[in-house]
Structure 1
C-alpha cells in the first residue's frame, strides 16, 4: 500500500470517530430517548452518516483513487447530520464529530 499522508491519516481518524459516534448515538441515545430522536428521517440520516464515514475511511485505507468522490459525499452527509442533530438537540458530541469529519473530508475531496 502506498504511503498515507498525515492529512489522510487525520481524515481516516475523523471518519472512524464519526462512524463510532453516529452509530453509538443512534443505537444508544436516540433509541432510548425516542420522540424526534427516532423519527424516520433523522434515524435514516444518522445511520447513513455512520455508514458513509465507515466507507470513506475504508476507501482511504485501501488506497482507492475513488476516495475523493466518497469523501465529497461524506462531507455533505456529515454537514446535514450535524445540522439535524443540532436542531433536535442534546447530541453535541455527534454534532462535533460530524463537523470535524466534514472538514477533513472536504480537504480530501479537493
Structure 2
C-alpha cells in the first residue's frame, strides 16, 4: 500500500470518528432542530468515509470515483459544521477538510 493510500485511509478514519462524535454531540444540543443539517451531513460523511476506506483497502476499480464523492461530501459537511460554534462542530469541520484534500489526491 503506497503512502498516499495509507494517508487517505487515516484521514477517512479520523473524519469518520469526528463525524460520529459530532453527530452524537449535536443530538444533545438544546436546539437539536437547528443542528439538523449538521446531523444529516455527519451521517452521510461518516458512511462515505467508511466506504472509501473499504474501497482503498480492497483496491476497488471504483476507488477514484468513491474518493471523489467522499471529498465532495466531506467538504459539504465541513462547510456546514463550520457554521456552528460548538467545539465538536469545529473539530469535525477540520477533519472533514483534511479528509476532502486527501480524497481529492486519491481521486486525481
TM-score, shorter chain, exceeding 0.5 = yes
Map of 2:9 onto structure 1: 12
> Number of residue pairs matched?
104
Matches of 2:75 and 2:30 in 1, distance apart? 23
TM-score by length of 1: 0.90
Match of 1:58 among 50, 54, 58: 54
Q: Which runs of 5+ in 1 are unaligned?
A: none
Map of 1:102 onto structure 2: 100
Contact 2:84 2:90 in 1 (8 A): no
TM-score by length of 2: 0.91
RMSD: 1.0
Matches of 2:70 and 2:22 in 1, distance apart? 18
Map of 1:49 onto structure 2: 45
Q: Which runs of 5+ in 2 are unaligned?
A: none
1:76 aligns with 2:72: yes
SS in 2 for 1:32: coil
